[in-house]
Amino acid sequence: MIDLYYWPTPNGWKITIMLEECGLPYNAIPVDIRSGDQFKPEFLAISPNNKIPAIVDPEGPGGEPISIFESGAILLYLAEKTGRLMPKDNRSRWQIMEWLMFQMSAIGPMFGQLGHFLYFTSESVPYAVERFSNEAQRLATVVDRRLEGRDYLVGDYSIADIASFSWLARHERLGIDLDELPNLGRWLDEITARPAVQRGLEPVK
Ligand SMILES: N[C@@H](CCC(=O)N[C@@H](CS)C(=O)NCC(=O)O)C(=O)O
């Protein structure tokens, strides 16, 4: 069974949703990032950047155990392992890479900084809130535009959708306005309604 080192945050949900979608059994091991569990040496051994999520698959390539950190890498690994949620044809695969990299390099860091300046600073920093709010709203608009005339980011529902969904589902908490983003709203509703997504969003059992 796969061990998932996890805390209920957008980056953690990407992996619980993917595992649920693929029907892979897993053991969710909480790493309480509020109390510093991510800095313990035993966690550092599998996650050198001290962040969740990370997995250990006892049946990795060649039947040998493997540990993987970085949510984008974990999504790609699980897609390849199961043959699920990643198209087979090469052109579509590269489009998935584009949207996955976009999520990892833009949506994740910018939304993460916005959440930090909204909820976790001891003093208010209006410049940072404005900067990251504007950028988060702009990125949501990029996704809305991509979804114009499309059901999902690339072809069928895929790991690209799971990656961006996990952050965009936090739009209310982050103050992102969906009023003028109807494609994004429809996409969020559809993905939220998936039973595997509902299970993946549950807190650690
Ligand atoms: N690029 C990483 C980001 C992971 C990340 O930022 N994880 C956060 C929780 S969402 C964390 O572990 N924070 C603890 C810390 O920064 O000390 C990924 O996508 O896996």
**Tell me: the pLDDT tens digits for 101-134?**
999 999 999 999 999 999 999 999 999 999 999 9
pLDDT number for residue 79: 98
The pairing of strands 66-69 and 54-57 is: antiparallel
Ligand 1 center to residue 83 CA distance, Å? Answer: 26
Question: Mean per-residue pLDDT for 55-76?
Answer: 97
Atom of ligand 1 nearest to the CA of 74: 20
For a ligand 1 pocket test, name from 11, 35, 37, 78 the mutation site with the most ligand atoms within 8 angstroms of its C-beta. Answer: 11
The answer to whether the CB of 101 falls within 8 A of the CB of 160 is: no
User: 204 pLDDT band (50/70/90 cuts)?
Assistant: very low
Is 205's pLDDT higher than 60? no
- Closest residue (by CA) to atom 1 of ligand 1? 70
Q: Please indicate whether residue 108, judged by its CB atom, sits closer than 6 Å to ligand 1.
A: yes
**Tens of pLDDT, residues 135-182:** 999 999 999 999 999 999 999 999 999 999 999 999 999 999 999 999
Give the C-alpha separation, 39 to 33, whole Å. 9
Q: Distance between CA 84 and CA 25 in Å, rounded?
A: 15
Identify the band that residue 10 occupies on the pLDDT scale cut at 50, 70 and 90. Answer: very high
- Residue among 7, 10, 18, 52 nearest 170 (CA): 10
21-49: per-residue pLDDT in tens?
A: 999 999 999 999 999 999 999 999 999 99
- What is the token pair recorded at 105? 């390099």
pLDDT 10s digits, 80-109:
999 999 999 999 999 999 999 999 999 999
Assign 203 a pLDDT band (cuts: 50, 70, 90): low
Cβ of 183 closer than 6 Å to ligand 1, yes or no, is no
**Cα of 33 from ligand 1 centre, angstroms:** 9
Does the pLDDT of residue 78 top 80, yes or no?
Answer: yes
Residue 103 near ligand 1, beta carbon < 6 Å: no
Both structure tokens of 6: 């996890």
